[in-house]
Amino acid sequence: MSSEKLLTLKTRDGEEFVLEEAMAFRSLTIKNATSNYTINNTPLPINVEINTMIKVIEYWKKHSERGISEDELMNFDKKFFKLLHNSELFDLVVAVDYLADKGLSNAACEQVLDKITGKTPQEIRDIFNINNDCTPTSLGG
Amino acid sequence: MLPTCSYSVNNCCFSEIFRAKPCRLFRQFSTIMSTADWSKLPMELVGLIASRLHFAEDCLRFGAVCKSWRIGILQNGNSLCSFLPWLMLPQWKNESLRTCYSPSNCKSYDICLPDVLDKRCWGSSHGWLVTLGANFEMHLLNPLSRAQISLPPLHKCPNLNLVCTGKSFRDSFVYKVILSASPCSADCVIFAIYSDNWKMAFAKPGDVSWTPLSCIRGHVDDAICHDGRFYAIDTFGEVLIWDFSGSFLKKIAFTPSRDMDNLVYVTTYLAEIEGQIHAIMRLLFDTRITDAPCLSTWCFKIYKLDICNEMWEEVKSLGDWSIFVGSNHSFSISCSVYPECESNCIYFTDDFSGAYYDAMHGYDMGIYNVQNGRVKPLLQENKSDFAFSLPLWIIPSLS
């Protein structure tokens, strides 16, 4: 086991897990929280559920790997997002915004963008299962 | 026994360093219920996603998905960049649906715009239109957000002794009204050319009246606002310059227009490219076969102004840039920033039909290639019955 500093985090749904501090600090939110936080082994609460956190850590881990090429990262990202259901993507987008990790946030938003670009409003509603509560004003062609 | 897992942190398997409660690492993903409500996406995220939409039409569609996305996109309007120019086609019968055509991807979009019904409009590169109704009422309107700002009454301008109806004021008395910047910015000035193109005046949003400009000698072909100054070019071959407080600064002779052949109709536009003023001469032939004139564009000649030496230099290529002229504040686009736009071209619409519009010939508009002098036609659709409604250029924007 490495002698790196470890951090204990507790998710919104009560799960506790341990992470290397350097990796956890990819999240500005976690980083700022620990700077005001006296270490006494109390887990740091984070407003994310364990399912989503697992995905985030999987992404962080890959992007922290030493010696990994741009191409390999691109392939990983493609596969990573492809395997997400839209509901998981939603949770990820919201969680990453909360965690304030710009890199992952940008990547997740790009995914949403890809699904939206070139689609009519009804197609977008069908993809994301959204109810149409708009009054007819401007049309979207 | 803890399940083995594929998630490992720092080369240690999760189960080794996991000290707290046993975790339910394995999820059967197929049993996850879809609880995500995308319409409840936090506003900053809606804005973040919207700010990266490249085409204005995607923006329009994004805002049409649901109420909260529309609010999100309007609230984050200031972070949205401008998009590619649209050709807004004229009014068709009494329809409030207006077709906008994007020449860069050859697609048409219909926008419901009851606010421009029976009004004359002029475009801009700042996302706003100037509209003039048959009742002398003038407004600034953003067709994407439908925000409207009213302007002071031009017909009550101090240098006018006006005796004409609202309809003829709209149809022919006012030639062009342009704006220098989005009304949300402090540099916004509105500029009007009227009275057979012999008079000009300006106003800022919030003014109660227009301020006339003096020292105009003749028929003004075009005017632009740039860097705190008004530039106007007249048919006598002079460029006149004022500052934004209305003080006349100087006049510069524009000699190329004085050497023109009498068989050719010429009108000159002014446009700014990379901070430098250019004069764009549009040469037209009258191809009439009946009594009414039928002007058709033959070619363009471009000149760059060296303002310090008051000299003009002919420009044979616009390089990476393209210019948009006709019923709008003439503007330029950098095609290196917007590669979907064809570079070294002049996109022009019809400034002359108006009262002489003939449905047989359609509008005099197209894309002029500066390099080879050829004109590619632009979409002709729903030719309007109304003399006051002409096609115009606008770069849609939500600011």
* pTM of the predicted protein model: 0.72
- Amino acid (1-letter code) at residue B56: A
B72 close contact with A: CB closer than 8 A: no
pLDDT tens, chain B, 399 aa long: 333 333 333 333 333 333 333 334 433 333 344 568 898 888 888 888 887 776 777 777 888 888 888 887 777 655 545 578 999 998 888 888 888 888 887 888 888 888 999 999 999 998 899 999 999 999 999 988 788 999 999 999 988 877 889 998 998 899 999 998 999 888 899 999 998 888 999 999 899 999 999 888 889 999 999 999 999 999 888 999 999 999 999 999 998 876 776 767 889 999 999 999 999 999 988 877 777 777 889 999 999 999 999 999 999 999 999 999 988 999 999 988 888 889 999 999 987 765 555 656 678 899 999 999 999 988 776 567 788 888 999 998 876
Out of B12, B23, B63, name the one closest to residue A17 (CB): B23
Q: What is chain A's Cα-based Rg?
A: 18
Contacts of B58 (CB under 8 A, 6+ apart): A116, A117, A118
- Tell me the percentage of chain B whose pLDDT exceeds 90: 41
Please report residues of B whose CB lies closer than 8 A to that of A16.
19-21
- Amino acid (1-letter code) at residue B89: L
Q: Can you tell me the distance from the alpha carbon of B98 to that of B92, in angstroms, rounded to the nearest whole number?
A: 8
Q: What is the pLDDT at residue B58? A: 79
Please report residues of B whose CB lies closer than 8 A to that of A100.
none
- Burial class (CB within 10 angstroms; exposed 0-12, middle 13-18, buried 19+) of B50: buried
Q: What is the pLDDT at residue B216? A: 84
B112 close contact with A: CB closer than 8 A: yes
A124 close contact with B: CB closer than 8 A: yes
Q: Can you tell me the distance from the alpha carbon of B338 to that of B321, in angstroms, rounded to the nearest whole number?
A: 10
Q: Closest by alpha carbon to B57, among A133, A139, A123, A127?
A: A139
B212-239 pLDDT, tens per residue? 998 888 899 999 999 999 999 998 889 9
Q: Can you tell me the distance from the alpha carbon of B312 to that of B279, in angstroms, rounded to the nearest whole number?
A: 9
